[in-house]
Amino acid sequence: MLKTLSKISLVALTFVLSPFVQANNFSYNYFEFRSGFGPQTIGGEVSMMLMENAHFVGRVDSRFDNDWDAAVGVGFNGPIGAFADIYGQILLHHVNFVDSSSSSSEFQPEFNLGGRVWLANQIEVLGRIGLHDERSVFHAGVNFHSTEALVLFAGARNDGVYGPQFSIAARFNY
């Protein structure tokens, strides 16, 4: 009898407290294709949730001149209210530089911290700042959620290798 009462109490408590439990406000399962302007770059990014507040991140950008900036790492994310998330990433970059006289390749760390906020039903603003090796990085812009699966981005970024750029992107949530 006591065991049955305990189970019923646990189920009732779950129903009472579930409105106070909050999940992430944004999807962290996506793949993205992007283009940067000034200098011209093409890139892609993939993110996959590992658990409720942690995700895997991988991204590559290039000018297609035997150069690249490839990064992999982990990120954290969590809600800071009904309409906002905070997130961050720890990444390891493999950067291949090419200039007129030589080519060099090296590994570089990055740490960043950012936020995402819903402005309207389909419009989100986001920003993040951080350090890539010894350079500061930033990413700021607007996401338009045309459907649950398709998100369009426009904004500015400096990921530490190619300098400040304007960029556009198409993100596919899964």
Per-residue model confidence as pLDDT tens for the chain (174 residues) = 666 655 565 555 455 444 444 468 899 999 999 999 988 999 999 999 999 999 999 999 999 988 999 999 999 999 999 999 999 999 999 999 877 666 789 999 999 999 999 999 999 999 999 999 999 999 999 999 999 999 999 999 999 899 999 999 999 999
Residue 10 is predicted with a pLDDT of 55
Note whether residue 135 is domain-resident: yes
Q: Which residues of 25-44 are buried (b: 16+ CB within 10 A; e: fewer)?
A: bbbbebebebebeeeebebe
pTM for the complete prediction?
A: 0.81
Note whether residue 1 is domain-resident: no
Residue 47 is predicted with a pLDDT of 98
- Give the residue among 101, 93, 104 at the shortest CA–CA distance from 160: 93
Residue range(s) defining the domain that contains residue 78: 30-97+104-173
User: Is the separation of the CB atoms in 41 and 35 below 8 Å?
Assistant: yes
Residue 24 is predicted with a pLDDT of 80
Note whether residue 46 is domain-resident: yes
CATH (domain of 82):
2.40.160.40
Q: How many domains does the chain have?
A: 1
Note whether residue 54 is domain-resident: yes
Structure tokens at 171: 């993100």
Residue 103 is predicted with a pLDDT of 74
Residue 46 neighbours by CB under 8 Å, 6+ apart: 30, 31, 32, 57, 58, 59
Note whether residue 76 is domain-resident: yes
**If 0-12 CB within 10 Å is exposed, 13-18 middle and 19+ buried, where does residue 11 land?**
exposed
Note whether residue 37 is domain-resident: yes
Strand partners, 76: 54, 88
Distance of CA 171 to the CA centre of its chain: 11
Residue 22 is predicted with a pLDDT of 47
